């Protein structure tokens, strides 16, 4: 399979006042298209930072990140925002749905940035909500849904634009075992059935078993499997 995500010698250093905090050190990583990668590591190991860099919501201090042939570390803020809207689907640990919007409207949000007509948007939203098994909860607000259901809405929101890469930052971290299983099953299905490339951060070994590749991060460095 062709390489879809290339992380080349990436270093990330945060600055807090006069302090320099190195988070990632000379990281290189390749993710083939259609893969399901789990990044594991203890708290503070830099896995979320790496995920943020791959998803284009943060920029590396040095190095390059090439996704589907685009070096996103060279894009400016507005170009990066446009690139994200087309290429990245992001699933957060705490769902991060907008509480004032229904499930349907939350999923529709990323489509507002496309040229799709209202009818086309509706068809797409209904389709992905059906895929995640929430076609009967479209008009429900987040507070009317369980944690697992909210995360499924968040996954629907992440895939509704048919992104190049689906990113998950501890997507099961806030869920009970049963709900977590449902989410992992859904992610596996998206990977196998819909050929979605997925990169997921988790500290749960059981969750990581759903992935086909597992990489470990420790103190800002990738370690052997």
Where along the sequence are the contacts to other proteins (CB under 8 A)?
A: 52, 55, 57-58, 77-78, 81-82, 84-86, 88, 90, 92, 96, 98-101, 104-105, 108-110, 112-113, 157
CB atoms within 10 A of CB 204: 15
Of the two residues 46 and 224, which places its CB atom closer to other proteins in the complex?
A: 46
Closest to other proteins by CB, 112 vs 127, is 112
Shortest Å distance, C-beta 192 to other proteins? 25
For residue 168, what are its two tokens? Answer: 């998950």
In angstroms, what is the minimal distance from the CB of 151 to other proteins? 14
Distances (CA, A) of 144 to 132, 141, 148, 171, 224: 17, 5, 12, 20, 43
Q: Which residues contact 24 (CB under 8 A, 6 or more apart)?
A: 10, 11, 12, 46, 49, 50, 53, 60, 220, 221
Min separation Cβ 44 and other proteins, Å: 14
Residue placing its CB nearer to other proteins in the complex, 108 or 182: 108
- Rounded to whole angstroms, the Cα distance separating 194 from 201 reads 20
- Residue 8 or 92: the one with the smaller Cβ distance to other proteins is 92
Contact assessment for residue 82 and residue 71, using Cβ atoms and an 8 Å cutoff: no
Q: Which residue has the tokens 């939203």?
A: 125
Strand order, beta sheet including 19-32: 19-32, 3-16, 62-67, 70-71
For residue 56, the minimal CB distance to other proteins (Å) is: 9
Helix (H, G, I), strand (E, B) or coil at 93: coil
Q: Which is nearer to other proteins, 79 or 192 (CB)?
A: 79
Q: Which residue, 100 or 224, has its beta carbon nearer to other proteins?
A: 100
Closest separation in Å from C-beta 8 to other proteins: 21
Shortest spacing between CB 110 and other proteins, in angstroms = 5
- Give 58's DSSP letter: S
């Amino acid at each position: 399979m062709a390489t879809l995500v290339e992380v080349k010698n990436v270093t990330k250093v945060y600055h807090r006042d006069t302090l320099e905090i190195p988070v990632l050190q000379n990281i290189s990583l390749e993710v083939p298209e259609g893969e399901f990668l789990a990044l594991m590591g203890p708290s503070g190991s830099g896995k979320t930072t790496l995920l943020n860099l791959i998803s284009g919501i943060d920029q590396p201090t040095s190095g390059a990140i090439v996704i589907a042939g685009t070096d996103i570390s060279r894009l400016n803020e507005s170009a990066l925002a446009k690139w994200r809207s087309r290429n990245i689907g992001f699933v957060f640990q705490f769902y991060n749905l907008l509480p004032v919007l229904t499930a349907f409207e939350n999923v529709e949000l990323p489509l507002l940035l496309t040229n799709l007509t209202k009818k086309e948007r509706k068809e797409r939203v209904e389709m992905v909500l059906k895929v995640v098994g929430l076609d009967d909860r479209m008009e429900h607000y987040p507070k009317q849904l369980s944690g697992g259901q909210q995360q499924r809405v968040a996954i629907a929101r992440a895939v509704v634009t048919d992104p190049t890469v689906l990113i998950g930052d501890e997507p099961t971290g806030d869920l009970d075992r049963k709900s977590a299983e449902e989410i992992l099953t859904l992610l596996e299905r998206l990977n196998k059935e819909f050929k979605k490339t997925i990169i997921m951060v988790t500290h749960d070994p059981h969750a990581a078993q759903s992935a086909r590749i597992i990489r470990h991060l420790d103190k800002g460095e990738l370690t052997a499997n």
